[in-house]
Structure 1
């Protein structure tokens, strides 16, 4: 038996569906509050998306499904096995629409943005982005809706994930530039990948045959 960590929230239904399409019994019941259930030789855990890499890295789960955004932000050491293709979204730098032209020009100038204030729920990804741009912004870490920060003068810009961009537009924000793309990934515990090589390889093969997009990197 292998233990699979599934992400609670917006990707849970798609993750359970992916397991079903691969031929596994994944009896997830949206009406239930159970966080642990079994089916077809699998044990499933439902965890907060940001906790999935932690569960997998620490051996509480052998494999997990998590967005690339959550995986990158976690910094946990796991094997990234497959891009599953669903849950697609983008990481963007966004700002009030009137400020976008000036911000784009300043970004091209690099060091001129030393005093830029960026609000985000993803400090690690934001720091990596800033380092690549050779800028040193003040990073303000928030837990809730970061779109509010520019409107109340807390920040000049935000780094966040978007799907359609509708929420940004409704809050007077626009995209300055795209940082990266994110989608659901199949990840594995490093020890489990060796000890339970056969069932994990079978899981990958069945997911590949079911139409999920492979692209493993260990």
Structure 2
């Protein structure tokens, strides 16, 4: 008997958007999964062949790429940042809409001309995505890797600008920052481990079920 498929799900806002998709696929997590006081990270479901793990969004890609989970739900920003060749992202789930943007203090933006940049210093949790973006523009970039509190970097002199995930833009505004450029539009993707997708007969049908749940037109085109 094959071991259960492990589905990696991200903590936070994207998880709440993903739960209706799981329901449409027919996956119901055990009660502890929805208990905010639970410290468990691995959960059973109503389907004996499927288990869930709940991890940080950035870790979903790593768990799936290395085969610890067979499939997962994660933002396209994370897929682009890591670029794991072992990761297959066949389905745009149409949820988790946001963007990766370059932002800077409003005072700097008022007199700044991005066309004149030759070198920038950026604070971000997306060092690879950011570096590629500026390399494509022919601009040198010093990258300061941060995992959070990005908006503090310009205020405290750590970096002049930031690259971060933006939804409403409220956090930027409250910290005196403005968007200068949208680097990438982001939606959530269903990702699969390439080896598992090819070798396990139970993975592809589950991917197809998510495709149909996300958008019947995707299912028809598959």
Query: Do both proteins adopt the same fold according to a TM-score greater than 0.5, normalized to the shorter chain?
Result: yes
Contact 1:93 1:178 in 2 (8 A): yes
Give the deviation of 1:33 after TM superposition.
2.0
Give the deviation of 1:17 after TM superposition.
2.7
**Partner of 2:98 in structure 1?**
89
**Partner of 1:158 in structure 2?**
162
Alignment of 1:1-218 (within 5 A): 1-27=4-30, 28-31=33-36, 32-39=38-45, 40=47, 41-77=49-85, 78-103=87-112, 105=113, 107-109=114-116, 112-114=117-119, 116-197=120-201, 199-212=202-215
Q: Find runs of 4+ consecutive structure 1 residues off by over 3 angstroms.
A: 211-216
Contact 2:211 2:218 in 1 (8 A): no
TM-score using structure 1 length: 0.88
Contact 1:91 1:181 in 2 (8 A): yes
Contact 2:118 2:138 in 1 (8 A): no
- Segments of structure 2 that go 5 or more residues without pairing to the other structure are none
Number of positions where the alignment pairs a residue of Structure 1 with one of Structure 2: 210
* Residue 144 to residue 18, structure 1, CA distance change in 2 (3 Å): same
Over the residues paired in the alignment, what is the CA RMSD in angstroms?
1.9
Give the deviation of 1:179 after TM superposition.
0.5
Q: Distance in 1 between matches of 2:59 and 2:175?
A: 29
Contact 1:84 1:213 in 2 (8 A): no
TM-score using structure 2 length: 0.87
Write out per-residue CA displacement over residues 78-112 of structure 1, whole angstroms, 9 at most, x where no aligned residue. 11111111111101110111222443x2x223xx4
Give the deviation of 1:213 after TM superposition.
7.7
* Residue 132 to residue 200, structure 1, CA distance change in 2 (3 Å): same
Q: Distance in 1 between matches of 2:156 and 2:92?
A: 38
Give the deviation of 1:48 after TM superposition.
1.5
Contact 1:82 1:213 in 2 (8 A): no
- Segments of structure 1 that go 5 or more residues without pairing to the other structure are none
